[in-house]
A and B are shown apart, each in its own frame.
Chain A
């Protein structure tokens, strides 16, 4: 502890200044003399600035770690609160927060598009629609049927089968992922200095050794392999992957949504107006 302070005097000074400033800005005791706001503001600002200067790089490993835990625990906590909330409106809001925390995790994994798309679709549209329905259906508080679980057996079975499937996938695929990850990193790291002129662009290999012994060829994911023109991870790479490697799945999902849409339109009107 003392060592850290000695090696980072600026951090300590900044923290102390900041703390004194905040203390100064607190409302005075009853009957006490009011303090000068300006002095407090100056102290706080000076402390904040020197603290930021001392901390330096915001991209540090520590910040990454902290954010991971904040988002991860946040998602879990909000999920639990969503399930246990008595009021459906609050449950929907906790669901929104869970989605936002998950999007934070996506951002940490350098998947900004996924994060933005999830926010737009789930937090921005789906949960707003939930709120819409809840507000329409229950203007006089929570209904009795919200306090009971209707299909408890089915729900439990479905949830745990799904959980089992995820666990199985993670356990069987674990080795595979490790084998895959190592050679790609090596392949990216090695040729980059040899080419030269691209020190600021790690992660983009100019000539990827396709068919090298350590990288098993992946016939299903040919388009997802990074090269100079198509780095994986940005919008272009994602688009190539979605509409190249996973075209079939994307089209299938699209067709499913179309069918659901047609079904909804067929069911929506009242019977005398030509509904089902």
Chain B
């Protein structure tokens, strides 16, 4: 089968599957949220509410599509399309199953554009364009709340792009490539103890956090921020245009989860079940399921984080990016360079990452304490209280 047809087929499958998957992710989000808040969640349409997404989809399609008279029409219509377009484009280089694998039938390929040398950089480049959807939507709506949301989004995305890129630099240095397929291959070849999370745990944490901010998920959803800004940049949107914004956001979530699983958790590798040496019929299906399962668990994590960590204040958000994550990722990079140059064991990176995390936490907590003590009316907390419910000063960095 010619290459072109396979590519068309893959594109068709991806573009067809993602909206459906996103629809059910919304159901998952509502169900999980309900579970966390001791509610039942949607349960009216179909058994256990399983057809709720279909009903929602039909509703969004058939709803009246209002374009307010005071908007900039061209940009207003373009913004949701842009946000979906960029989110789907970024998915083009993400392998969502076993790639370069002989056991996979020849007409199936689990990546749209294989063998892109700059791999992860392409995702960042397209991802950085995603903010245009939000900024233009907010500006074109000609509404103060929308404009505020758009302003916040642009500042936030530009800031978090830096730690997002820098956290992966150490990984690129270690593996000598930015190609997602070969990054996966290297981890698979080395087995469970060669997963990148062992050597770059801090980078994994920062990558995940920064990509949450890039995707505008809680606790970083200041651009949307219902309590302050009504709906932020999408206040003026309705029906399918509104749905497209959320299709973009959920596609972004899917991309992030796949990327985190591929970069740090060994891709389709799972000890004893799918190793580099294992061979049994249907292995490629198992590999596909493992990679999707890892991605799925990250999506669940994101949804649960939503109800666990409260939303940041804007200055806290900026401090987290500029005062915590950027210096930390720089230090992490220097550490990797040091380790590689003197050819130390890679396990020192694990120790070093933990030490960095602890050191930065202590510094941040002390700085915070010093800043607070300069305020009028400051009362020093008692030691007992500290020992009682202040687990780990490392989290002081976030406050």
Contacts and interface: CB of A to CB of B under 8 A. Distances in A.
B157 A56 contact: no
B220 interface: no
B118 A235 contact: yes
A235 B117 contact: yes
A231 to B, nearest CB: 11
Contact of B135 (A48, A49, A125, A131): A131
Given A52-B8, A58-B4, A123-B129, A135 B116 contact: no
Interface string A43-58: 0000011001101101
B125 A131 contact: no
Contacts of A56: 2, 4
Interface in B125-170: 125-126, 128-129, 131-132, 135-136, 138-139, 144, 147, 150-151, 154-155, 157-158, 161, 165
A33 to B, nearest CB: 23
A148 to B, nearest CB: 23
Query: Interface of chain B, helix or strand or loop or mixed?
Result: helix
A96 B132 contact: yes
Nearest to A127: B132
A269 interface: no
Contacts of A124: 125, 128-129, 131, 158, 161
B5 interface: yes
B124 A120 contact: yes
Given A52-B5, A58-B4, A132-B155, A116 B139 contact: no
Chain B CB within 10 Å — which of A55, A123, A135, A136 has the most? A135
A123 B89 CA distance: 15
B348 to A, nearest CB: 24
A24 interface: no
Nearest to B172: A235
A93 B118 CA distance: 26
B16 to A, nearest CB: 13
Contacts of B131: 124, 128
B161 A116 contact: no
Nearest to B2: A53
A12 interface: no
B154 A132 contact: yes
Contacts of A129: 154, 158
A128 B135 contact: yes
Given A56-B2, A128-B132, A135-B147, A235 B154 contact: no
B320 to A, nearest CB: 18
A113 interface: yes
Interface residues of A, number: 29
Contacts of A120: 121, 124-125, 128, 161, 165
A116 B5 contact: no
A89 B139 contact: yes
A51 B116 CA distance: 26
A255 interface: no
Contacts of A139: 144, 147
Contact of A52 (B4, B122, B128): B4
A183 interface: no
B117 A135 contact: no
A176 to B, nearest CB: 29
A113 B121 contact: yes
Chain B CB within 10 Å — which of A55, A117, A125 has the most? A125
A84 interface: no
Interface in B101-123: 116-118, 121-122
Contact of A119 (B125, B144, B165): B125
B178 interface: yes
B5 A112 contact: no
A58 B126 CA distance: 23
B150 A135 contact: yes
Interface string A73-99: 000000000000000010001001000
A235 B132 CA distance: 28
B86 to A, nearest CB: 10
Interface string B1-40: 0111100100000000000000000000000000000000
A131 B136 CA distance: 9
Interface in A15-69: 48-49, 52-53, 55-56, 58
A64 to B, nearest CB: 16
B235 to A, nearest CB: 15
A116 B125 contact: yes
Interface of B: 2-5, 8, 75, 116-118, 121-122, 124-126, 128-129, 131-132, 135-136, 138-139, 144, 147, 150-151, 154-155, 157-158, 161, 165, 177-178
13 contacts: A52-B5, A53-B5, A58-B3, A89-B139, A112-B117, A116-B121, A116-B122, A120-B161, A124-B129, A128-B154, A135-B138, A139-B147, A235-B178
Given A52-B4, A116-B121, A125-B128, 16 more contacts: A49-B5, A113-B117, A116-B118, A116-B125, A117-B121, A120-B124, A120-B165, A124-B125, A124-B129, A124-B131, A128-B131, A129-B154, A131-B135, A135-B154, A235-B117, A235-B178
User: Which 6 pairs from chain A and chain B are nearest by CB?
Assistant: A124-B128, A119-B125, A116-B125, A116-B121, A132-B154, A112-B118
